[in-house]
Amino acid sequence: MRILVNGAWRETEALELSAALQELGYGEAVVATAVNGEFVAAAVRPCTRLAEGDRVEVLAPMQGG
């Protein structure tokens, strides 16, 4: 299926957000996620189903001062 990840269309076989993150190369990285504008906590990613055309945002923590 096609999903929009950080503004770019990507093909994925994954049905859940956690599997999509693995497939997209995020592995065990500490990231924040949202699907269709709604925050998705790490604990519920394995049961968060994706659908064709979903908008997924993946944000890595930033350091600075």
pLDDT digits (tens, 9 = 90+) for 2-58: 999 999 999 999 999 999 999 999 988 899 999 999 999 999 999 999 999 999 999
- What is the per-residue DSSP string for 16-62? BHHHHHHHTT-TT---EEEETTEEE-GGGGGG-B--TT-EEEEE---
Tell me, what's the pLDDT at 53?
A: 98
Domain 2-59: CATH superfamily is Beta-grasp domain (3.10.20.30)
Tell me, what's the pLDDT at 17?
A: 98
> How do the domains of the chain map onto residue ranges?
2-59
Residue 65 pLDDT more than 90?
Answer: no
